[in-house]
């Protein structure tokens, strides 16, 4: 579970587990989920190591969203917290 501190003082508003998804599908699914959220809300995204963790946060930042944090979790995956821009 994410602490309130990690999410900028609040728990994520939504979560999506994209472990096992290939690029660019993981980015597309994240972008679609963010489209359903309000500006300022926080999304927790679980991504695999390698291309997903390298590409998805960078692409989201380029789209105007804020990356609040990236943390390696059990099993080699990464937890990314994104605030919708």
Whole-angstrom distance, CA of residue 78 vs CA of residue 75: 9
Give catalytic status of residue 54 as yes or no.
no
Residue 14's DSSP bridge partners are 43
Q: DSSP class of residue 13?
A: S
| Maximum Cα interatomic distance, the chain, rounded to a whole number of Å | 31
The active-site residue, picked from 2, 10, 19, 23, is 23
Catalytic residue numbers? Answer: 23
């Amino acid at each position: 579970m994410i602490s309130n501190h990690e999410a900028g003082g609040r728990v994520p508003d939504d979560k999506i587990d994209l472990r096992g998804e290939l690029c660019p599908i993981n980015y597309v699914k994240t972008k679609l989920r963010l489209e359903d959220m309000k500006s300022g809300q926080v999304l927790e995204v679980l991504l695999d190591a390698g291309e997903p963790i390298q590409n998805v946060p960078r692409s989201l930042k380029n789209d105007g969203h804020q990356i609040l944090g990236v943390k390696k979790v059990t099993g080699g995956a990464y937890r990314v917290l994104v605030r919708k821009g």
